[in-house]
Structure 1
């Protein structure tokens, strides 16, 4: 466990990342509304499906989701998929079914693994961590030249389940189960996607904002995640 001062410093730095994220993210309410819609679906209420569609379309407009078709497919299938998951708890099958729905709603047939993970996350944020290709490359989970495979996501998920819990315990962070993956993802996403140079641009930005104390803290934090992922792979 880190000292009280170390804990407070990391906590302050994560709050600064949240401020930066909300500034960069043009419509942060889209994510919040998708979480609320996900909770409704888990309770059998599909009235918020439109918010899930909006979230998926805002994530990556280049995917070319057919809004009407995506809405129709989620309206017709998501409730039963969630109900089955609640009974069976088969995580891989859950992601696979979500991926198939998104694949049917995209204009150009592609492997919608990242979209399926994002949808799974807003439905079950306490179970499915977010990931993007730059993060998986930065953490050395996959080669740069191809997209993430389903098997690799679950290898990542099982490692991160342990790694994030260990990091939170080690640093004494007070993240709830429903928010822990999102808070870590905000840091990792900014670190590995800000101009795509492995955190260097984010460090420069922090220096410019006089947040220098956060750079070393986050470097140690990310290194701890990498170490825990490596331990999980070896066990």
Structure 2
């Protein structure tokens, strides 16, 4: 299956156009032509089975069938501080989207080494991962904001913070979370959370959890949390 992304497409449309980038990929890389079949997703749960009607600089198609995929019975939101090495954060986004995730929220903590994050490349990586894994839902990606601003905005009913202070018992995430929930997990920067950030999070209802006995890099911890919650709901 060749899956493309066209967020402007709606179920009411009988025809449409691929984006310039997808048109080039379809006609030049895949060498698709008039009469070939493709699938297009709007990133909102709809997959359109289509027939190409024009294959030049902009690829046109006719919709022949629509398959709607409902949202999952649970949702995963990972709130993570961008790493100093941006490649590591891009790796996390790619793999998290492939595994399944509804939302990724970036934040700047008091100990963050990276304090600016541009979403344009992150969004491209997420779109590519969605298409590669043949999914019809595009995760929401949030601009980086200070952690103190993010915490009060988290409305998920099961909220966790991955942090294990010395001599304080904490349950593993997979045993603390309950199935079919709306989850949000805070993953700190390379310098970890500050004491005041931990206090703010726990006062806001975040439960401290562990992701195992090994010390994990930020991006590994974020992906581990994502996988644990997906596994819990299989």
TM-score (norm 2): 0.25
The structure that is helix-richer by fraction is: 1
The structure that is strand-richer by fraction is: 2
Q: Which has the larger radius of gyration?
A: 2
